[in-house]
Structure 1
């Protein structure tokens, strides 16, 4: 019998028609055993197997269903196969290690997840899910947990929306903290529905708070996404009442929250905290509570946001005895008030911005010779390149407060006219970004006096108001009232334009109704110039919160006849749906189906910002559809560009997705592909991104080359030639384009801007759309979105500075000062070092004319030189060092001739001395607080064992609180490297010393001196 089965299943199939049940069972058992070999033969008579299952008198119906399921599986009919697998009941073994079982389980989980999602979206009270399907999924989940595959169980639970099983898989795991971190990460990446993601976060908060030692850093991040500022404030209060370690944790929580740049949320947390004044209500003796005691005693008693504002002024028993409290209690109360004040300064951004300013000023490595080279190569008649140089200078010195280039080139700068003058003035806002206390004083020479036009240039005054917004971006509490007054009193469209942009930046995301009404009044004046800025500003003000405003803005966009206003409103509407994901689908559908291409263009931005960083498949498909099908080039270009925003959380996917689009016949699509890669892969130095962009930098169309050069600079920012050899090639390419007088204007503008971007922030910032906790940085994403609008309006280039973030490690002690602290970078110093400085210009006298030399004399000299070289090892000469510096990609100050270019190329070889220096280079280096730490360097950072200071959070970069293990010893602090004060006569950041962009030059007073005979 067995021999017959090996060759054919015909006999067994015939036995199925026998009347005796035992024969049928015997045949069915063997068919199940040999089905994988003879399924093609068995499938011809599958009806007999189905009939056997339907025969109620046959006791082994589940076995018949299992056989039918396997036959359908081999036929590729997975739906039918799963149906019969469910009918097989327990005979379908989820633990079976076979392709059939694995495929059917995946199908079952997908089907179950689809039904659960559909039920959640339609809000059905009773889900019509086959209980047998649910049983299979539950058996699979239980098997994963029993086998110790907790991450797999968590993933299935998350996909199937089984929060009960999700909690069980975390709590039964061996490492609960690791599972919580894993769940946090995948919930932000793979959960497409925002409402469901919030339900997951609530479960995580519940589990975190149930632990013996809650992770307050992660709890606070979850609560931020759940928009629960009251509970966050309560946690911070509890930590502030603890010992120094608990206090450090409170400050670290505040710094981590600040990094996500959610200004409205941070201000709510600040407002929920009590006022920092001495009061017996806050009497908590220092040291009575430590971090672990906070955990055990208070974790389950953290009040919700409803509790924190009630009863705060009610007298208590302790208050009645305040007059009898000791001086020690009074001191403790004062200490608590001081700590509360420090915490609020972190939340409002005052402390981190001040520290960032110190870092960028003290570590500034911008190369001003590069700008001088660009200035000399740009024709004065070319206003586009003239302005591009001003933009590049602003980006190159963003946040450093160094405006030396402007001061040294006042005559050249004064040639800027009209809107170029507007941009030149606004550029000061980028350079001095973060000077919150001195911002208004800094821009005073250019601002409208007393809220009205001062008789100066309206372009300078409008630019100054825009600059104030850039200085106070996302932190505008101190300046917004002045900007409102300036907007009210402005009767010039240019000043209104600058005031609207500045006000939108300063009040970013605050949804202030009064400010909205002021901007709306400018919009309704129906002036094209002012109305465009008003549309963008309304979007900035209502970022992610304009649910009732977007329809109003859309109605006006349909009614106005000005293209500028429609475009500004289209972008503004897109900003209002930021992060709303599926809640924005109705508005997105309305925009993308509009007959006006400008509004469809806005629909692409709406898709980009609503689904920013989610890698949502539905959004990607939608954008790809418009990228290849829309009749408007503007819409197609923006649809491709928008992919960069959706995919920036998974940058390695973007080059693959847009690779075919980068080869499109349509130059607008190619430009969009370049910018998409630049946006999503910014700061990564990703090799796939470089490979895609490289051919586009030599595209036949000028604006495609421009976009590719800008995108390449964004990708390569903070990437060294030691990491990626193409960096040197790219820098030389930029140099060649800038120095080439025959290069077209668009390409040259792109190269100039790329030069500013790749060396941005004094070579100490990178472009990051995500925080170090892998959550979106609102200001950065919004800034990048508005920057991409520079296609129509060059002054919006400055919005790119909002996406800059310092590449710094800043360690702070309990008093928020920087102690002297060292740590290690286990990588060669040159791997992440600053680019070499530009070589100085070669003196003209050093160039000699060629002289005639007899061949016999030349051969004799060659022999003599060879003999000398054999006896004396070569040393690197000054000429070699200069040529090596040039070969490293630094810009030269004059355009080389063809002969010089050939000679330079010939000298780009590995000198023996250079190789020797590489061998002798140390394998690591010691970094001193505060230190420059680029993203690629973070994995090499190690903290010393036995060090006096220990990070409260093992973070390789950012603001890190340091625990002092030797508190009784005196501390040595890092000397402050803050920018020069605004006192008259100072050389940086002074009113008297500001570059006179308006062109009315005033002589500066001489420096004080002493005369000695």
Structure 2
């Protein structure tokens, strides 16, 4: 029978003996029982410490191990780690005990801390951590080793864990994911990506798509060009891959990056203005030209235009309701709001039916309202590059236009920039010419247009031209120049420009100029992360609140999407402590940018701030949720925003409406019930006479955002491959500046991305092919069209008849028989309307009885929202995509039966008709208003017949 040990006091007594062997024996017994009797051992700690410190004692390391275990049970991890280090090899990292696992993780945390602070690392600690890595390799825990190695910044272990894993491809993809989500240091991230690229290239079949995504982060245009040129020399699969990479590059790269790649291509002659259809299909030279055309963006922009035009699904009743509200209220705010909402709703669709149908209403605009009205054409025709001047020729400053004003001409220049945003090589020189005209109103529009067209090009000549206008110290022109200088130098971080802009911001007395320069400085630090820390600190400690305001956005742009804790800590500090409401509002707003890649964290971060006593902090909380949770339908964010829609302050409710629309964009009621109820809330707010003016303005903008781009666009701050969407980030940041200058609202057009899958063949043509969406069609369908209320119209008719009857009875002008006829007609009309309504209800009930299909066949090109990608299955018998997993955008297709004739999708050209200032139409396809307005796509439903009416004298 086994003896149950109830005490180890006898072993503790042996520690006092003089014989070394007895002490060793006692320590061995105590070590084996320490987990059970540690509380008893505590009384003898001093004695064990003496043995641990006694150099002549041969079993010092064993005594240290016992002490480490006792301190572990006492919760004193610092002493436990210290004595574990002293125990040497007796601390066995291969052991699976709770003590070893806990202390080992503590060692790793300490090792990571010392590696990140460049402190001197204890050799014993290094040995333990290396032992842990060896343990991971023996157990096959390569992902665990890779994750710890990344946190420790051990490049050698990173490479070893990938190379020895046996599943190199999946480990490389996992490593790229970790780089995008957890690595906060930009320099170290680039070192890791360099290793990844090298390992990718050693594979038998390198994944060139992922390689080029890494090379974009590394800003290595030369290597990307070499890959593209090598691929187009090979077989058809490689050619398709090269084209696919080129489309991805256009989606994820800046204008300057793409231009540098194109300059490295061996083109014999310029391809400016060349139509892809005119390029010969065979030969290396033609392939290079096609590659150049893709990198220019000609094809993608053309596809965007055609898709948005073809699939525009706007509910015009909503716009008419907004227009009616604007006519009831005095002041330009509702008028401007309706113009902005219309522009955002029709962004990129080229459809200006609403403007052409309401020319008299449009002609009411004056001064800066006219500037905004003309600029809205730039949002509507975004990407209509080849015919941009033709579209706006009625308004552009040419000296020949009748009734032209500087405001309409300036708005047209701004519109040119919006059309050419991020793709303005063809228009920059024209805008530069107009910038030199000595008229501050024209210079305002020209500067904004140039900043948009030359965004992120880093052109110093344009910067110098803008600086000259800035130094005239005019508030109107200077405000636009400060922003434009930042846009041109976006992400360059050029120290000379930063110093000049900062110096002038301290010298000028104009608040508009100071604020615009502060935003310009923020743009220059886009994506710079720790490189921006010096400027951030300088701005955050400035006495001028306008520069501190810019400091918040500088922090946001530098660390956008990184989730950096230090950046969040600074923003939260200033959100609750700064003396300026504008700075506090900006600080909370910018939390949304920092957490844009981790939307689930934002509601928890701002939940308390959303209950702040300060309305500006509450405003910022709403906008932060809108930015970080854009297009996610996040339930927690919506719960917070719903509370803010009942706030007592008008501009807080305004922010809540706008943010709610951003969160719910492209979300159907089948996905989230709030999608339908929120639309009703927008409409209620707009039509409520007692509602606050600022709140109504927010609801109008919200309706525009939730239906953006004909309900075919979304807001994505990051692409699926992990790259920041520069246009979206800049667009949202500048859109938020409408607080100070309403025309900045048009920047929302930059933030919108079409959501589609478009398949192209090797000739870059659109073949007829289909794929399956394995979900109910209603799950991602367009919201149903609202119907105008007919009941109110019937009531009006009844009242008119009664009034007429009463008046005529008083005068004796009508006989009783006439009155009876009118009454009879009204009754017949009521009865007919009731029958029609009943018939519609019956038809609706019949449709509801039919079971909805569980899948849907999508035809090329197809509207696909981001959440729908998980249900997409490519099952076409003829065409297979070159990419393995479904992604939004352009997909190159491999033809499995190239010998058979191809059937191509019939293209539809966008309209180019715009309203002229004199009430007539102008454009390349001009026709009478009724003809153009009645144009409908073959895919769109026929309009309902008008309600019956009677005309009386």
Q: TM-score, normalised on structure 1?
A: 0.84
Contact in 2 for aligned 1:170/1:176 (Cα 8 Å): yes
Matches of 1:881 and 1:14, distance apart in 2: 99
Please show how residues 190-209 of structure 1 align to structure 2 within 5 Å. Answer: 190-209=182-201
* Structure 2 counterpart of 1:348: 296
* Structure 2 counterpart of 1:169: 161
| Misfit runs of 4+, over 4 Å | 1-5, 331-334, 452-455, 843-850, 880-885, 911-915, 997-1009
| Partner deviation per Cα, 1:986-1011 (whole Å, 9 max, x = no partner) | xx313xxx2235778999975999xx
Contact in 2 for aligned 1:697/1:705 (Cα 8 Å): yes
Q: Does 1:211 align with 2:203?
A: yes
Matches of 2:331 and 2:930, distance apart in 1: 40
Matches of 2:114 and 2:659, distance apart in 1: 42
1:492 equivalent among 439, 449, 460: 439
SS of the residue corresponding to residue 700 of structure 1 reads coil
Contact in 2 for aligned 1:950/1:964 (Cα 8 Å): no
Shift in alpha-carbon separation, 1:81–1:659, aligned structure 2, 3 A = same
Q: Does 1:621 align with 2:541?
A: no
Q: Does 1:630 align with 2:578?
A: yes
* Structure 1 counterpart of 2:351: 402
Shift in alpha-carbon separation, 1:582–1:453, aligned structure 2, 3 A = farther
Shift in alpha-carbon separation, 1:669–1:551, aligned structure 2, 3 A = same
* Structure 1 counterpart of 2:901: 970
Matches of 1:964 and 1:333, distance apart in 2: 16
1:826 equivalent among 762, 765, 774: 774
Contact in 2 for aligned 1:397/1:762 (Cα 8 Å): yes
Shift in alpha-carbon separation, 1:971–1:117, aligned structure 2, 3 A = same
SS of the residue corresponding to residue 446 of structure 1 reads coil
Instruction: Give the drift of 1:550.
Output: 1.1
Contact in 2 for aligned 1:413/1:997 (Cα 8 Å): no
Matches of 1:569 and 1:939, distance apart in 2: 43
Matches of 2:875 and 2:928, distance apart in 1: 50
2:391 equivalent among 439, 442, 450: 442
Q: Does 1:989 align with 2:912?
A: yes
* Structure 1 counterpart of 2:856: 925
Q: Does 1:460 align with 2:408?
A: yes
Instruction: Give the drift of 1:913.
Output: 5.6
SS of the residue corresponding to residue 520 of structure 1 reads helix
Instruction: Give the drift of 1:85.
Output: 1.3
2:431 equivalent among 483, 497, 500: 483
* Structure 2 counterpart of 1:293: none
2:468 equivalent among 512, 521, 530: 521
2:670 equivalent among 722, 733, 741: 722
| Partner deviation per Cα, 1:414-444 (whole Å, 9 max, x = no partner) | 1111111111110000000001111112111
Q: Does 1:688 align with 2:636?
A: yes
Q: Does 1:879 align with 2:837?
A: yes
Matches of 1:362 and 1:74, distance apart in 2: 70
Matches of 1:369 and 1:819, distance apart in 2: 36
Shift in alpha-carbon separation, 1:277–1:713, aligned structure 2, 3 A = same
* Structure 2 counterpart of 1:808: 756
Matches of 1:352 and 1:240, distance apart in 2: 20
Contact in 1 for aligned 2:921/2:927 (Cα 8 Å): no
Instruction: Give the drift of 1:111.
Output: 1.5
For structure 1, which segment, 248-257 or 134-143, has the greater mean C-alpha deviation from structure 2 after superposition? Answer: 134-143
For structure 1, which segment, 393-402 or 160-169, has the greater mean C-alpha deviation from structure 2 after superposition? Answer: 160-169
SS of the residue corresponding to residue 223 of structure 1 reads helix
SS of the residue corresponding to residue 52 of structure 1 reads helix
Instruction: Give the drift of 1:538.
Output: 0.8
Please show how residues 673-684 of structure 1 align to structure 2 within 5 Å. Answer: 673-684=621-632
* Structure 1 counterpart of 2:810: none
For structure 1, which segment, 394-403 or 345-354, has the greater mean C-alpha deviation from structure 2 after superposition? Answer: 345-354
Matches of 2:283 and 2:751, distance apart in 1: 37
* Structure 1 counterpart of 2:934: none
1:575 equivalent among 505, 517, 523: 523
Matches of 1:358 and 1:670, distance apart in 2: 41
* Structure 1 counterpart of 2:171: 179
* Structure 2 counterpart of 1:59: 58
Contact in 1 for aligned 2:645/2:653 (Cα 8 Å): yes
SS of the residue corresponding to residue 116 of structure 1 reads helix
Matches of 1:13 and 1:567, distance apart in 2: 74
Q: Does 1:256 align with 2:241?
A: no
For structure 1, which segment, 59-68 or 156-165, has the greater mean C-alpha deviation from structure 2 after superposition? Answer: 59-68
Please show how residues 529-544 of structure 1 align to structure 2 within 5 Å. Answer: 529-544=476-491
* Structure 2 counterpart of 1:389: 338
Shift in alpha-carbon separation, 1:953–1:784, aligned structure 2, 3 A = same
2:362 equivalent among 400, 413, 417: 413
Instruction: Give the drift of 1:347.
Output: 0.8
Matches of 2:174 and 2:517, distance apart in 1: 40
Instruction: Give the drift of 1:408.
Output: 0.4
Contact in 2 for aligned 1:46/1:68 (Cα 8 Å): yes
Matches of 1:1007 and 1:404, distance apart in 2: 9
* Structure 1 counterpart of 2:100: 101
Q: Does 1:609 align with 2:601?
A: no
Contact in 1 for aligned 2:771/2:876 (Cα 8 Å): no
Please show how residues 882-897 of structure 1 align to structure 2 within 5 Å. Answer: none
Matches of 2:632 and 2:666, distance apart in 1: 9
Matches of 1:474 and 1:792, distance apart in 2: 24
Shift in alpha-carbon separation, 1:461–1:62, aligned structure 2, 3 A = same
Matches of 1:463 and 1:87, distance apart in 2: 75
Contact in 2 for aligned 1:276/1:338 (Cα 8 Å): no
2:875 equivalent among 909, 934, 944: 944
Q: Does 1:669 align with 2:624?
A: no
Shift in alpha-carbon separation, 1:567–1:948, aligned structure 2, 3 A = closer
Matches of 1:443 and 1:149, distance apart in 2: 62
Matches of 2:81 and 2:841, distance apart in 1: 71
Instruction: Give the drift of 1:264.
Output: 0.8
2:890 equivalent among 929, 946, 959: 959
* Structure 1 counterpart of 2:945: none
Shift in alpha-carbon separation, 1:69–1:265, aligned structure 2, 3 A = same
Contact in 2 for aligned 1:826/1:940 (Cα 8 Å): yes
* Structure 1 counterpart of 2:935: none
Contact in 2 for aligned 1:950/1:965 (Cα 8 Å): no
Instruction: Give the drift of 1:228.
Output: 1.0
Instruction: Give the drift of 1:531.
Output: 0.8
Contact in 1 for aligned 2:915/2:922 (Cα 8 Å): no
Shift in alpha-carbon separation, 1:784–1:884, aligned structure 2, 3 A = farther
Matches of 1:101 and 1:418, distance apart in 2: 75
| Partner deviation per Cα, 1:645-694 (whole Å, 9 max, x = no partner) | 11101111111111111111111111101000100111111112111211
* Structure 1 counterpart of 2:18: 19
Q: TM-score, normalised on structure 2?
A: 0.89
Matches of 2:756 and 2:172, distance apart in 1: 28
SS of the residue corresponding to residue 529 of structure 1 reads helix
Contact in 2 for aligned 1:276/1:340 (Cα 8 Å): no
Instruction: Give the drift of 1:845.
Output: 6.6
Contact in 2 for aligned 1:953/1:960 (Cα 8 Å): no
1:772 equivalent among 705, 710, 720: 720
- Which consecutive residues of structure 1, in runs of 5 or more, have no partner in the other structure? 120-126, 279-330, 851-875, 886-910, 980-987
Instruction: Give the drift of 1:197.
Output: 0.4
- Which consecutive residues of structure 2, in runs of 5 or more, have no partner in the other structure? 271-278, 800-833, 932-953
Instruction: Give the drift of 1:243.
Output: 1.5
Once superposed, what is the RMSD of the aligned Cα atoms? 2.5
| Partner deviation per Cα, 1:248-299 (whole Å, 9 max, x = no partner) | 0001111111111411111101111111569xxxxxxxxxxxxxxxxxxxxx
| Partner deviation per Cα, 1:149-199 (whole Å, 9 max, x = no partner) | 111111011111111111111111132111111100111111111000000
Instruction: Give the drift of 1:2.
Output: 9.3
Matches of 1:566 and 1:533, distance apart in 2: 11
1:504 equivalent among 405, 427, 451: 451
SS of the residue corresponding to residue 501 of structure 2 reads helix
For structure 1, which segment, 334-343 or 793-802, has the greater mean C-alpha deviation from structure 2 after superposition? Answer: 334-343
Contact in 2 for aligned 1:810/1:929 (Cα 8 Å): yes
* Structure 2 counterpart of 1:757: 705
Matches of 1:144 and 1:555, distance apart in 2: 54
